[in-house]
Amino acid sequence: MDAHRAWTEINLDALEHNLAVIAGRTGERARTMLVVKADAYGHGSVAITHHARHCGVRAFGVGTSSEALELRQSGVRSRILVLGTIVDDEAAAALRNDVEIALHSSDRRRFLQELASRQGLIARVHLKIDTGLGRLGVMPHKALELLEEIAQSSHLELAGVMTHMAAPDGALSEHTHEQLALFDEILAQARERKLLRGWIHAANSACIFTGAPLYDCVRPGISAYGVLPGALPGASELEPVMSLHSQVVFLKDVPKGSRIGYGGTWTAPQTTRIATIPCGYNDGVAWRLSNKGEVLVRGARAKIVGRVSMDYTCIDVGGIPGVSVGDRVTLVGSQGEQRITLEEVAGKADTIAYEISCSIGKRVERIYVGGEGVDAGRSELEPARVHPAARRSEARPAAPRANAHDDSAASVDA
């Protein structure tokens, strides 16, 4: 019998393989900024980030400042960028800990300039341009003006210019080409005015695998974890990093006509055996899998019956000989010759693979396998370095940053 009610196995060797596949597509043309937001899409951001560093990745993208500070507290000294936005009260701790911030407006530029000046630091920012996603980012016609403002700000350093693709199929979409054409136009104008500094980045997983321009840096997310949106080219080269498991905790023989679960939405068509597993929608089993999803038991497929509840899910194992309490149940992953993928689960739940992996709750144990010789939670001990004054415009007054950006960071004091 397994020791946990529900657990996910995270294969660090598969992560290393996928990062190598991505590097093979980008070559020497672009650096990799691995996206580890949402707890690395449910895989565990601290362990994933440390192992990715072992694999040569030196920059990471997160969704919130709290995610960035969690990595800093774990000893990660690499470059970390908050890809979206932060609220004002989060900014001071982010700057103290050398976290880079996406910038969307003149108001936020003014706020960060004043805050960094009070702290005696240089804030590293990435100008985000809205080329067509319509969510965050400065409008294209205001981008050059904001670049000018950043250049004139004594306590801001332009660390990059970025945009965000809207189409899930990358360069296979005409909309992607329209966005990139607009982005390139702005970059050309900025270059002509000598306003460009830092990394230029736009390519996500879909763009990397469909031949879109890579610029200076790429931002792979879901592909590093073994998934590509839809049926994009290159999907077969990747290996799944995550599998999700539970175990049978109760067995019951029920007669024909028995109703199972809340609302009695499933009725036994014949005498059968129902197994209960201690894993529900708080643990990553989507409620929409009720009466539709499947799991693996003893190498065979069993149907989810009745509504998935918060803590438990019922499965029909009447056609599988020898099922016993304690048997492993695989919700995502392989048993024998059978495999259930994140994409399959997402399809049956009428959602995307991202939502399935991100929904795996905190009480699901993360078990890391592979990556021999690497302590995925170790603290990195590279010394901090003084921010080189040569990186600033000579017209700016000297103002120290907490640390150099490459592989160092301040101690966390949130």
What the chain holds in terms of domains, given with CATH numbers, is 12-224+387-391 (3.20.20.10), 242-340 (2.40.37.10)
- Given a cut of 50, is residue 407 above it in pLDDT? no
Report the pLDDT value the prediction gives residue 414, as an integer from 0 to 100: 53
For 193-197, 231-235, 382-386, which range has the lowest pLDDT when averaged over its residues? 382-386
Confidence of residue 231 (pLDDT cuts 50, 70, 90): confident
Q: According to the model, what pLDDT value does residue 181 have? A: 98
Q: What is the pLDDT of residues 254-304, one digit of tens each?
A: 999 999 999 999 999 999 999 999 999 999 999 999 999 999 999 999 999
pLDDT band at 413 (very low <50, low <70, confident <90, very high): low
The residue ranking higher by pLDDT, 409 or 317, is 317
Tokens linked to 133: 């996603």
| pLDDT > 80? residue 412 | no
SS3 351: coil
| Catalytic residue set | 37, 262
pLDDT attached to residue 309: 97
Q: pLDDT-based confidence at 146, cuts 50/70/90?
A: very high
- The C-alpha torsion from 35 through 36 and 38 to 41, rounded to 10°, is 90
Place of tokens 């497929």: 301
Mean of pLDDT values over 182-190: 98
| pTM of the model as a whole | 0.89
Q: Which residues, 6+ apart, have CB-to-CB distance to 145 below 8 Å? A: 106
Q: Is the pLDDT of residue 398 over 60?
A: no
DSSP for 253-308, written as a single string:
EE-TT-EESGGG-EE-SSSEEEEEES--TTTT--GGGTTT-EEEETTEEEEEES--
| Predicted pLDDT at 392 | 29
**12-26, 247-261, 396-410: which has the minimum mean pLDDT?**
396-410
The rounded percent of the chain whose pLDDT value lies above 70 is: 89
Strand partners, 245: 7, 330
**What is the pLDDT at residue 400?**
44
